[in-house]
Amino acid sequence: MTAPPRTTEESSSDVRDYRTLESSPRPSGRLTKDDLDPLVKDAGEGNPAAIHSLLQMIEPVVVRYCRARMGGRDLSYLSADDVAQEVCLAVLKALPDYQDRGGSFLYLVHAIAANKVADAYRAVARDRSEPVPELPERPLVAGNEPESHALHLDLGARLGRLLASLPRVQQEILTLRIAVGFSATETAEALGISPGNVRVTQHRALTRLRGMIRDEEF
């Protein structure tokens, strides 16, 4: 018996049975090792459909990560989205040589993203005339009142200073868990630590932030 033709909606939700952004949206979709391994294997072997699907899955989280770490503003001649594109290209270039040694592909993606963001900040450091942003830009609030907008910008700057005072691993965990929307398992695989460690470190980071915010008298 001949199967009925697939509708446009059905065919757009996957690419030759590979999960794509439509079938695995953030933050509800998962990017754990078990979810990614088959796709990464085929993509590394040059399968065009697998490469396309993998890019569709990682690009949204890479963009979120870069925007969070770079504050949502342009740094020198680079924007967060420019850096995200560089990350995705670097990931694709690394695919043919990638070998599964028991870790998660997310570890490689995160390492590349962190390095690219660091490169962007180093470029800004060479241009002392351009301030380095600390938190993502926030939209104007009700009525777009200048006074309210100024208060939000000041609050963002103070929060940025507090976040920057946290240990790097705590900053990364808060970025991945809150800004990117990763689960504890995804965050653990991206950082090469255990999910339990992620939860404990996140709790400590938030507790420390609350204490600093109280001391700052926000």
pLDDT reported for residue 10: 39
Closest residue by Cα to residue 32 from 187, 214, 153, 204: 187
Answer whether residue 217 shows pLDDT above 60: no
Identify the domain containing residue 96 by its residue range.
16-133
Judgement on whether residues 126 and 29 belong to the same structural domain of the protein: yes
The identity of residue 61, as a single letter, is V
Span 183-213, pLDDT tens digits: 999 999 999 999 999 999 999 999 998 888 8
Judgement on whether residues 187 and 100 belong to the same structural domain of the protein: no
pLDDT reported for residue 140: 33
More confident residue, 215 or 18: 215
Q: End-to-end distance of the chain based on CA atoms, in angstroms?
A: 68
Mean pLDDT of 51-65: 93
Judgement on whether residues 38 and 110 belong to the same structural domain of the protein: yes
Closest residue by Cα to residue 91 from 110, 68, 63: 110
Query: Which class for 204: exposed (0-12), middle (13-18), buried (19 or more C-beta within 10 A)?
Result: middle
Judgement on whether residues 36 and 124 belong to the same structural domain of the protein: yes
In order of 33, 106, 115, 175, the CA distances from 100 in angstroms are 10, 11, 21, 26
Judgement on whether residues 84 and 52 belong to the same structural domain of the protein: yes
Span 64-120, pLDDT tens digits: 999 888 875 555 667 889 999 999 999 999 999 999 888 999 999 999 999 999 998
Answer whether residue 149 shows pLDDT above 70: no
Q: Which long-range contacts (CB under 8 A, 24 or more apart) does 95-103 make?
A: 95/40, 95/43, 95/44, 95/51, 95/54, 96/44, 96/46, 98/40, 98/44, 100/37, 100/40, 100/41, 103/33, 103/189, 103/192
Judgement on whether residues 87 and 20 belong to the same structural domain of the protein: yes
Q: Are 69 and 181 in contact (CB under 8 A)?
A: no
Judgement on whether residues 155 and 125 belong to the same structural domain of the protein: no
Place 128 in a pLDDT band, splitting at 50, 70 and 90. Answer: low
Can you read off the two tokens belonging to residue 187?
A: 């965050």
The CATH number of whichever domain residue 85 belongs to comes to 1.10.1740.10
pLDDT reported for residue 23: 44
In a domain, 176, yes or no: yes
pLDDT reported for residue 22: 47
Span 161-180, pLDDT tens digits: 778 889 999 999 999 998 89
In a domain, 6, yes or no: no
Count: domains in the chain: 2
| Residues 184, 7: Cα–Cα separation, whole Å | 36
Mean pLDDT of 15-38: 62
pLDDT reported for residue 95: 94
Place 13 in a pLDDT band, splitting at 50, 70 and 90. Answer: very low
CA angle 62, 201, 161 (to 5 degrees): 70
The CATH number of whichever domain residue 210 belongs to comes to 1.10.10.10
pLDDT reported for residue 135: 39
In a domain, 9, yes or no: no
Q: Are 178 and 202 in contact (CB under 8 A)?
A: no
